[in-house]
Amino acid sequence: MKSVWIAAVVAWLVLVLPAGMSPAGESAPPALRVEGYGFEVTKLAEDARAYGNRGYVWKDVPEALRGWQFTRTNGGDLARMDAIAGADGVVHIATADKQKGIDLTGWEKVDGWEFYYTDGGKTRMQVYRRSAKAAQKLPIPQGNWTGGIVLAPRIVAAPMDRKADLSLVPGVVVHHSAAMSGLYIGSPGIAVLDDGAYLAKCDLFGPKSKEHDSAITLVFRSEDKGASWKQAARIDGLFWSNIFSHRGKAYQIGTQKHHGRLVILRSDDGGRTWTAPADADSGLLVDSGEYHTAPMPMLVHNGRLWRAMEDASGGKLWGLRYMPMVISAPLEADLLKRSSWTLSNALHGDVKWLDGQWGGWLEGNAVLTPEGHVVDILRVQTRAGGKAAIVRISDDGKSASFDPARDHIDFPGGAKKFTIRYDERTKRYWSLTNPVPPIFAKDTAGGTRNTLGLVSSADLRTWRVHCLLLHHPDRSKHGFQYPDWLFDGEDLIAAIRTGYDDGLGGAHNAHDANFLTFHRFKDFRKLTMAESCIDPAKLGMKP
């Protein structure tokens, strides 16, 4: 998993003039009303400060525009603005010169109207224009590092409260972290305790987080089977962890930070307080090294607990640096003691695999095969996706091996994290994944997370999609990813890292999610493609 911080330099300047009037016209146009938040109104001038949180200043401002007002924002912080013209006229915008990804359909370039601000690249702005009607509300695009900036001869600011709208978010919102906070939701996990309470958890990553020093994990508790949630704990020094119940206690296994040491924590009071891993007797499972994992399932087999993870010391490149391994401990052991755990060897991958398309393996599942052997089934990074890898683990848990010719398998959604669990009732292995519908086939599979599918297999090698559970037509800022889930009678319950609309500009992007959500998929064993949340044929999939 990697966090994405887009330092794209794109600014929008909106100018409103009555039809036929130039900036040099003698009479001033009606004031431009700007509704929203995250800005202040100030004067545009040569050497005027461009952003509230940077020392950049405007340069080469055309004489005709000097003395106008603009809405100064903080670069990188999300603002919201709607510009409302006071009369019929022409709306002008300016965007960073040659900036990719800007849709200027309907806009006409205004030759000669250019200026720049003093970042390292002296980013140059080009002005465009189009007609607008009086009282027309024009949303100012946001989401880039610079956000949207409004410019006009006169601006009347109409501040609005920053209020999230969670009404459209699928499932039950457990936690919300707006993109503007710089804290994104990661590593969702779920557990059911002996007293019937549910625990859900997530961690925080992103530019305002402490993921590289001492990561933060949040734990939530539900007393009504997921209908409502309250925060139960905040843990400093835990990242990428799973959460599970074992012999009346709650546990989490993860790392201390991004690529940190392996740790295990225990809660004796239902998730409200947690032990601190300080040494080999209190949950610090290794003295040194770099490790990677995610909320992966625990396997109970042959009197032991098994857990897959990755040694991250195989270089510096994401994906390629990860080397799968498995740890295990006796069921009756003190799990906080390092001596209780056996670690397997870690395996190097090879970029020559899959005809040179192989880009790494990670986030493995410890699973018991139909033949009774432990394997580690991992996500495989390729552009096209749809692949997973089966690493074989010896019965004593000390040896891991892999046959690249035999043990790469087709797996719908294999380029993203998935959790596999075995169901005794159906004698099948089940998972929630992010399959890539054919209409998104041209996009990179690892970044396509806007469809959640229910899949299963009888033998771990041949998988089929039963039903599409969640979908959004936009893949750039919407995602239902990293689902951790459990069987709950006839239902399947899940905690999901969700990127979705929140009334505050939505997620930073699909990967940098803004929600932890809880879902109950009722009678999941009976679901078919005909009961999907969207007609599969519209996505190019077979019904």
Res. 100 pLDDT band, cuts 50 70 90: low
> In sequence order, what are the beta bridge partners of 139?
82
CB 385 within 8 A of CB 398: no
Q: Report domain extents, the chain.
A: 13-159, 417-501+518-543
The pLDDT value recorded for residue 151 is 80
CA angle 184, 186, 192 (to 5 degrees): 135
Environment class of 513 (CB within 10 Å of its CB; exposed 0-12, middle 13-18, buried 19+): buried
The contacts found for 271-279 with CB under 8 angstroms, 24 or more apart, are: 271/193, 271/197, 271/199, 271/219, 271/221, 271/232, 271/233, 272/221, 272/232, 272/233, 273/233, 274/219, 274/233, 274/235, 275/336, 276/237, 277/237, 277/336
CB 202 within 8 A of CB 178: no
Cβ(515)–Cβ(483) under 8 Å? no
Closest CA to 78 of 14, 6, 138: 6
Q: Is the pLDDT of residue 287 over 90?
A: yes
User: Measured between alpha carbons, how far is 474 from 144 in angstroms, rounded to an integer?
Assistant: 17
Residue with tokens 């590092």: 145
CB of 195 within 8 A of CB of 270?
Answer: yes
For the chain, helix, strand, coil in percent to 5 are 5, 40, 50
Q: What is the mean pLDDT of residues 458-479?
A: 97
Q: What pLDDT was estimated at residue 104?
A: 65
How many Å apart are CA 254 and CA 236, to the nearest integer? 12
Confidence of residue 4 (pLDDT cuts 50, 70, 90): very low
Start-to-end CA distance of the chain, whole Å, equals 32
Least confident of 142-156, 202-216, 295-309, 428-442: 142-156
The residue type of 262 is: L
d(CA 15, CA 93): 6
65 vs 25, 33, 45, 294, 393, CA distance in Å? 11, 18, 8, 52, 69
**How does pLDDT run across 292-347, given as a tens digit for each residue?**
999 999 999 999 999 999 999 999 999 999 999 999 999 999 999 999 999 999 99
Fill in the DSSP letter of residue 12: B
Q: Where are the beta strands (DSSP E) in 193-288?
A: 198-205, 216-222, 230-236, 239-246, 249-255, 262-267
Question: How would residue 102 be classed by pLDDT, with cut points 50, 70 and 90?
Answer: low
% the chain with pLDDT above 70: 92
Average pLDDT for residues 113-139, to the nearest whole number?
85
pLDDT surpassing 90 at residue 20: no
**Mean pLDDT value across residues 13-21:** 49
pLDDT digit string, tens, across residues 341-373: 999 999 999 999 999 999 999 999 999 999 999
pLDDT at 19 over 50: no
Query: For the chain, how long is the longest CA-to-CA vector?
Result: 87
Question: At residue 340, what are phi and psi to the nearest 5 degrees?
Answer: -75, -20
| Residue 27 binned pLDDT confidence (cut-offs 50, 70, 90) | very low
Residue 29: the pLDDT is 52
pLDDT in the model for residue 143: 63
CB atoms within 10 A of CB 450: 25
* 282, 288, 293, 295 alpha-carbon torsion, rounded to 10°: 10
pLDDT at 95 over 80: no
